[in-house]
Amino acid sequence: MTSTLSAPAPAAALARTVAPGVERPGPGAADRQIRRLGLRKAFPFSRLAGVLLLLAVWAVGSLTGFIDARKLSAPWTVVTTAVDLISTGILQEHVLASLSRAAIGFAFGVVIGTALAVVAGLTRSGDALIDGPIQLKRAIPTLGLIPLLILWLGIGETFKIVIIALGVVVHMYIQTHNSLTSIDNRYVELAEVLGLSRATFIRKVVLPGAMPGFFLGLRLSVTGAWLTLIVVEGINAVTGLGKMMYNAQNYGQSDVILVGLAVYGIFGLLSDSVLRYVERRSLSWRKTLAG
């Protein structure tokens, strides 16, 4: 018995193979149908649709009494509370304290995490000495170190900044180290053929290739810094958004808590948007090479 192997028919030919009596689509019709299956271009500010829907449900629930005002204040109550806190200067005081802690911890974490990643990613001895402890730290929750760090550093500002920095260090190290050690071997072979020195190869190929991972680490780090901040500000803090929210919890002031959460969310989104913008500008050369 003889079997004949044949190449599969092109997609366009299969698209034109239809049942008898059915009009055959013209050339390019299959392509148009395939394109319609893809995601459509999002309309402007489409990501706000879900937020606006959530606010509408919240407002309707508050108006109808379905939502208990003692547990979740109405949106207009939260806005009024925010205006009062701003007019008295209380919100600004707490915001500045939180921003100071987050910025200092973030800065130390970025510098230390990036430096460790570069040493471990570019040297064998650094990888042997650094990667293991960092991976071990990654398996230990940063907030789980709070009792030990309180024992070592007390409950002052140093303790809070160190906790924030530790979380940032892990994010920066993991992402940057992974980018440094996953350079395509084709680039290595090309550099060897061209006779590039190791220093030139690192400067021209490795470090630029690691930039996407570096920026991803920045974005994860800034989010982690805000998440850690709200916890540490509940430990013997005098000022800060977290302290303001914990005090409001004691007095059942859900509107103040919601104001604090809103500020955290706004700063989180703004910081991530700024990093996205810087990333696009810094990595614009990749689009030029791709074109």
199-207 contact pairs (CB < 8 A, 24+) = 202/122, 206/122, 206/180
Phi and psi at 217, nearest 5°, equal -60, -40
Q: What is the pLDDT of residue 98?
A: 95
Residue 27 pLDDT level (bands cut at 50, 70, 90): low
- How far apart are alpha carbons 163 and 225 in whole angstroms? 9
Give all domains of the chain, ordered by start, each with its CATH number.
Answer: 69-282 (1.10.3720.10)
Lowest mean pLDDT among 13-17, 141-145, 249-253, 275-279: 13-17
Higher pLDDT, 154 or 20: 154
Phi and psi at 190, nearest 5°, equal -65, -40
Tokens encoding 218: 């920045």
Residue 87 pLDDT level (bands cut at 50, 70, 90): very high
pLDDT per position as a tens digit, 224-236: 999 899 899 988 8
pTM value > 0.75: yes
pLDDT per position as a tens digit, 32-81: 555 555 556 666 666 678 888 999 999 999 999 899 988 899 999 999 99
* Residue type for position 37: L
The number of angstroms, rounded, from the C-alpha of 13 to the middle of its chain's C-alpha atoms is 45
**Percent of the chain beyond pLDDT 70?**
81
- How far apart are alpha carbons 236 and 238 in whole angstroms? 7
Write out the H or E segment, with its range, that includes residue 213.
Answer: helix 211-232
